[in-house]
Amino acid sequence: MQLALQLTLSALALSVLACPGEDHAHAHADHVHAKRLYPQVPLTPPSRPLVWSDFNIIHTTDSHGWLLGHQHLSFPEPNYSGDFGDFASFVTHMKQIALDKDVDLLLVDTGDLHDGTGLSDGYPPGQVDGHETNNFIMDLPYDVLAIGNHELYEYADAYDTYKNFAPHWNGRYLSSNVNITVYDDDGKVIDVPVGSRYTKFTTRKGRKITSLGVLYDFTGNSENTTVQTVAEMVKEHWFKEAIAEEPDVFVLLGHMPVRYDHWPAVYDAVRAVHPYTPILILGGHTHIRDCIQFDGRSMALESGRYMETVGANLDVSEHENITFTRRYLDANRVTYEYHTGISNQTYDTTQGQNITRGLEELAVAYDLSYLYGNAPQDYTLSRYATHSSRARMQVLPYSLSINNTRAGVPNIIIVNSGELRFDILAGAFTKNDELTALPFLDAFLYIPNITLGVASEVLPALNKAGADEKKRDLSAVERDAERYAQGDVGMRYNAWLEEMSARGAEMLQRRAESKNLTLGYVTSDLCPGVGDDTPHIALPYYSSPDFIGSNVPTVSNDTQIDLVFINFIEDQLLEILNEVQSDKTYTDDDVLSYSPLLANVVLGYYAQKYWN
């Protein structure tokens, strides 16, 4: 196998810009996104039935365009192979079960509906990210929804949400601390909520619900949108007005993780007014499964990522601790059919079939089946130990030299490892896979005339190395906080995987006893009982540095080279560059465009050249 194909996926971030072929007019017939009526590999069924109560919730969050399901056969992907049509049928059947049991069932979502697959991000010029996939979200009977940070990176996305998505929900799309600047009917500039600050409604069974939709303290939003901090939001007059009247249950939605963030500020504000009212919090953003109780009459649940679904059940009692169960459901037809008690032959509803058909038609319209090549193996972000540094970043310097006047100048190229969003898995590598692994429209920039001696210090410093460890540690904490505020969840998600893997090592010793289990999530949270619906063996985890770079050119330390980097890390890189040298203070004015290629196309170029 070629050395280039031995790279881990993190290494591929800098090794995939190969010259695209012009003669690969591959037929699409063998690679269409055909719906799998049943998973093609054996799946472990759920371990036990759901525990229904008088008040129940199905929660989705951070779906990021994963509406066609996970279609590769490398585990754990088949665990999540259900598409959004399958899920729609599941919701219909669950709603019918709730009617039969004469109980309440709410369907809620807590944001980040796009930036993740070709369905949401493969739109042609002139369209808006997620606009078409949002139409499928609107086909489902969501009771209440909250905004996410990915709805705010681009003003066009935020405006589309404000103008076309939020109005569909008749006041139940919530953006409690998020505003957008628009023109009113008279042409006057106004600053208004993207959705609604809060909503109050009554369930089918007569329960009074008060809901808010809170976004964490996000700082990466576009111009003409504003995100108020959570601490300031709870001081607002409208907030105090919203919580003044006691409902039967507070259902607080938010694109904010249930731990290590500002939910306690919201919870404390509500509890100060209503000491005993049940509070159910549905969170999101960090892509993990998690649950915590702030007191005996509350529950806070976070429900993973990329179309994992959750049933949360709540019993309400007067002035006593509530009892509840929570369940993290693997999103596949085996799960859905088990919990609805409906066979594969009769499972699909007309609505579900129509949604699946519409998704497949959208995939065709976006040409998502275009085949770049066939990946010879899995390239995962964290499942295997990182290969040697010699294997890293071998292709990008050559690729970026194509039609580049700087081709003859030595360079070092640096990107953040989080630039890659998903694994590349063995088999057909299509346009959809390309956009799933790397959907971002980030650009390659450079600073010229940096001596090699200085440039070679930047990557280690970015990765918290260097002589002055105490200073580095402090600045690293500050930079990590800034990355999180701008929307980078990789640190939190990877820490969760690492902790899960460490616990999973004990399970591997008993694998002979668990030979029927497949790879998947093995959740440990702070709520009573077992949360995972289906037992699995934990995914192995190996860490990668926060930033990765190309090989250092073989020139003298005083040779002037180009320092090339992705635009997402520009501020951090300039800060570090000014720390490692004092001859000049570098600013944005020193930064130039290095290549017309954007990050979201580089994987396809690589596959065309090396995987055919």
Please list, in sequence order, all residues whose beta carbon lies within 8 angstroms of the beta carbon of residue 219, skipping any fewer than 6 positions away.
227, 482, 485, 486
Q: How many domains does the chain have?
A: 2
Q: For residue 112, give Cα distances in angstroms to 115, 130, 151, 152, 173.
A: 8, 10, 6, 9, 13
SS3 395: coil
Q: Are 416 and 546 in contact (CB under 8 A)?
A: yes
Identify whether 549 is part of a domain. yes
Tell me, yes or no, whether 508 lies in a domain: no
In one-letter notation, the amino acid at residue 12 is L
Are 201 and 336 contained in the same domain?
yes
3-class DSSP string for 306-320 = CCCEEEEEEECCCCC
Give me the pLDDT at residue 165, please: 98
Q: What pLDDT digit, counting tens, does each position of 373-418 carry?
A: 999 989 888 888 754 333 344 446 656 777 788 988 999 999 888 7
Domain's final residue, options 308, 337, 365: 365
Q: Please count the residues of the chain.
A: 612
Number of H helices, E strands in the chain: 17, 24
C-beta of residue 465 within 8 angstroms of C-beta of residue 579:
no
Q: Examine the domain organization and report whether 311 and 432 are in the same domain.
A: no
78 and 155 housed in the same domain: yes
Q: Check residue 42 and give its pLDDT.
A: 86
599 and 560 in a common domain? yes
pLDDT of amino acid 589: 97
Same domain, 178 and 306: yes
Closest CA to 260 of 280, 239, 290: 290
Q: Are residues 345 and 360 in the same domain?
A: yes
Q: Please indicate, yes or no, whether residues 455 and 311 belong to a single structural domain of this protein.
A: no
| Same-domain status, 297 and 351 | yes
Residue 598 lies in a domain: yes
User: Are 421 and 578 within 8 A, CB to CB?
Assistant: no
Shared-domain flag, residues 294 and 392: no
CA distances from 431 to 20, 31, 35, 125 (A): 13, 11, 17, 16
Stretches where the chain sits below pLDDT 70 are: 1-39, 309-319, 386-399, 465-475, 505-515
Identify the pLDDT of residue 3: 24
Amino acid at 231: A
Within a domain: 374: yes
Structural contact between residues 195 and 215, judged by C-beta atoms closer than 8 angstroms: no
Are 248 and 102 part of one and the same domain? Answer: yes
Q: Which amino acid is at 93?
A: H
Given 316, 343, 365, the domain boundary residue is: 365
Q: Is 220 part of any domain?
A: yes
Cα(91)–Cα(93) distance, integer angstroms: 5
In a domain, 311, yes or no: yes
pLDDT at site 452? 97
Output the DSSP codes for 470-520.
Answer: HHHHHHHHHHHHHHHHTT--HHHHHHHHHHHHHHHHHHHTTGGGGTT--EE
Give the CATH number for residue 53.
3.60.21.10
Residues 279 and 214 in one domain: yes
Asked if the structure places residue 285 within a domain, the reply is yes
Both tokens of residue 554? 């073989």
The whole-angstrom separation of Cα 233 and Cα 357 is 42
- Tens of pLDDT, residue by residue over 297-308, are 999 999 999 997
Residue with tokens 């949002």: 134
Which of the listed residues 311, 332, 365 is the one where a domain comes to its end? 365
Expressed as residue numbers, the domain containing 393 is 3-24+370-463+545-610
Asked whether residue 154 falls in the same domain as residue 7, the answer is no
For position 580, which CATH number holds? 3.90.780.10
Give the pair of three-digit tokens for residue 342: 């409906």
Q: What is the DSSP letter of 21?
A: P
